[in-house]
Structure 1
Amino acid sequence: MAHTWDPDRYLAFADERARPFMDLLARVGAEEPRRVVDLGCGPGNLTALLAERWPSADVLGLDSSPEMVGRAGERSGPRLRFDVADLRAWAPDEPVDVLVSNATLQWVPDHLALLPSLVAHVAPGGWCAFQVPGNFGEPSHVLLHGLAARPPYAAHLEGVARPSSHDPAVYLDALARLGCTVDAWETTYLHVLDPADPDPVFTWISGTGARPVLQALPDDLRARFGDEYRAALRAAYPVGPAGVVLGYRRVFVVARVP
């Protein structure tokens, strides 16, 4: 079931979403790549950082969402461009030197099976780097999918996309079997959310993990679902001395292609 992404809602936490991207990029040792591709570029704000790091490279951002690519296109330049594409079917005209994917592969079912083709798209000695959320056992997601499984919501949510990811060791093993030299790790960020927002965790997840669920519901049930979900999130993420803190585990993988 297709869903529509909202660039404005996604960019509400642009700084927080940029941190893991920068941490991922810091471990990519490419010096002067010619071709750099960002799979799942979203609104393009992070893809633009690739063009800043490697100003002589041709940088291409790809995303399956026309809404996201439309916003990203506002950043286009002589060496930075964007296009709509499904990463599962995408293939470059020639191998790329750096292939980056930030918080995207978790939406691809069985994305481990996709890794051989992604590595094959990278030139010898090039880099394949990605980051995926690893927080699907946290209250934000457990509450979401628990509520979605109950009537009257469940009848409308069959087949709705549900993200998933693996531990770092799983990705390391899969890429090492392909001959890559792999650096894999995880980090849990503690995001202190906006104290002026009465439902900051809902605001965060409604732009990402909860969006397909919310979009699939009819208007009357969407409002009811949102009220129930907000109440559950407020109980799970109470206001503490620092405010509302969202713990967010992320998994990072940087592979050097042989």
Structure 2
Amino acid sequence: MADTPTPAGPRWDPERYLTYADERGRPFVELVARVSAQSGDQRPERVVDLGCGPGNLTALLADRWPDAEIVGLDSSPEMIEAARQKEPRVAFEVADLREWAPPAASVDVLVSNATLQWVPGHLDLLPRLVEAVRPGGWLAFQVPGNFGEPSHTLRAELADRPPYAAHTRGIASPASHDPAVYLEALAALGCDVDAWETTYLHVLTGDDPVFDWVSGTGARPTLQALPDDLRAEFEREFKARLREAYPARDGRVVLPFRRVFVVAHV
């Protein structure tokens, strides 16, 4: 997914998001690999990607299940427009997952990659997502679990200070739970659940690469909430703090990134 919040949030830039497409795509590949929907008599007929972003990862679902109807949904019109231009095998639609209500038991595989963290109280959505999946089908999602890391805390601390706070108060802020929380919630709904976490060590290069990473995702609502003159000053301060927290060594910066994975067999 595109790590993008709800329609009330900022405009999203598909190209900026794709700057680290390989690094962002790896968790999606590892998530879907644990979905055991097979071909033949068990092949999925309908696969839905909730929060499909620019569609580059949704295309992998079409590769794996070429005979299935593949649907990609995202709240960002910019992301959907980019996806439609690149992947004709998928039906892309602008939709808010909080209001998405397909016919009950109509989806064989429901995937959501790096999206639910933008939905406050998203545990409350799980019963409806499970209800959308056919008996014997799969619900699989991945969310970042790194919100206590400097890449997020430094932004939040800086945004809470004047003169920025007057503009950033109440902006979209991502959050997620530990794997055990999701496991218990889905097990209580009658699912067989596989939940785990992985911390990736992304090796980044270039000038201010951590800022480049977060400015396309978690920091974007903050940056777009600021007027132009304050945004430039905020970026200067934020970059300096990130360089201190993530020092470059031999031209490389290591960004630890924890992610939480859940695969539920309905």
Q: TM-score range by the shorter chain?
A: over 0.9
Aligned 8 A contact 1:33 1:54 in 2: yes
Equivalent position of 2:256 in the other structure: 247
Structure 2 residue aligned with 1:17, among 24, 38, 61? 24
Deviation track 1:149-202 (CA, whole Å, cap 9, x = no partner) reads: 1011001112100000000000000000000000000000000002xx210000
Q: How does 1:126-165 map to 2 (within 5 A)?
A: 126-165=137-176
Residue identity matched to 1:236:
A
The secondary structure found in structure 1 opposite 2:25 is helix
Equivalent position of 1:170 in the other structure: 181
Equivalent position of 2:129 in the other structure: 118
Whether 2:115 is the aligned partner of 1:108: answer no
Whether 2:93 is the aligned partner of 1:86: answer no
Whether 2:238 is the aligned partner of 1:238: answer no
| Structure 1: distance between partners of 2:139 and 2:130 | 7
Residue ranges of structure 2 left out of the alignment (5+ in a row): 1-7
| Structure 2: distance between partners of 1:234 and 1:2 | 27
Residue ranges of structure 1 left out of the alignment (5+ in a row): none
Identity %: 70
Equivalent position of 1:208 in the other structure: 217
Equivalent position of 2:228 in the other structure: 219
Equivalent position of 2:4 in the other structure: none
Aligned length: 254
- Displacement of 1:75 after TM fit? 3.0
| Structure 2: distance between partners of 1:104 and 1:150 | 28
Aligned 8 A contact 1:192 1:242 in 2: no
- Displacement of 1:241 after TM fit? 4.7
| Structure 1: distance between partners of 2:227 and 2:216 | 18
State the TM-score, normalized to the length of structure 1. Answer: 0.97
Equivalent position of 1:38 in the other structure: 49
Q: How does 1:57-68 map to 2 (within 5 A)?
A: 57-68=68-79
Structure 2 residue aligned with 1:73, among 77, 80, 84? 84
Aligned 8 A contact 2:155 2:238 in 1: yes
| Structure 2: distance between partners of 1:97 and 1:220 | 49
The alignment's C-alpha RMSD in Å is 1.0
Aligned 8 A contact 1:163 1:209 in 2: yes
State the TM-score, normalized to the length of structure 2. Answer: 0.94
| Structure 2: distance between partners of 1:72 and 1:159 | 29
Structure 1 residue aligned with 2:237, among 218, 228, 234? 228
Deviation track 1:21-77 (CA, whole Å, cap 9, x = no partner) reads: 001011000111000000000000000000000000000000000000000001343
| Structure 1: distance between partners of 2:32 and 2:54 | 18
Aligned 8 A contact 1:144 1:229 in 2: yes
Residue identity matched to 1:16:
E
